Amino acid sequence: MFNSPSRTTLSPLDQLRLDRGAAHLHGLGPRAVSEALATLAARIGGTPALLAVLTEYEALSPGQVRAAGGDRSPPPTPRPPSTPR
């Protein structure tokens, strides 16, 4: 779950955007999350895949997620300093 392929294949900037977007969406409440997931599934044609992922996450308890550190975003990935052009 926490080192899923999606997390390891995203660029650091995309991961940050995903984390921030997810936190904002979560703050909007369960209905907003449900509607966003349904919209995503409709756009990518993946309702069965989306429901399979949700089923996997239903097996987790809040305590398990906290114990694994999944209730917090990971620290930002350090970037090398940019070079002047």
> Residue 1's pLDDT band (boundaries 50, 70, 90)?
low
pLDDT digits (tens, 9 = 90+) for 34-71: 999 999 888 887 888 888 888 988 999 989 988 988 88
Percent of the chain whose pLDDT exceeds 70: 78
pTM of the model: 0.64
- Give me the phi and psi of 77, to 5 degrees please: -75, 125
Which has more pLDDT, 6 or 9?
A: 9
| Interval 5-24 mean pLDDT | 82
Which has more pLDDT, 64 or 2?
A: 64
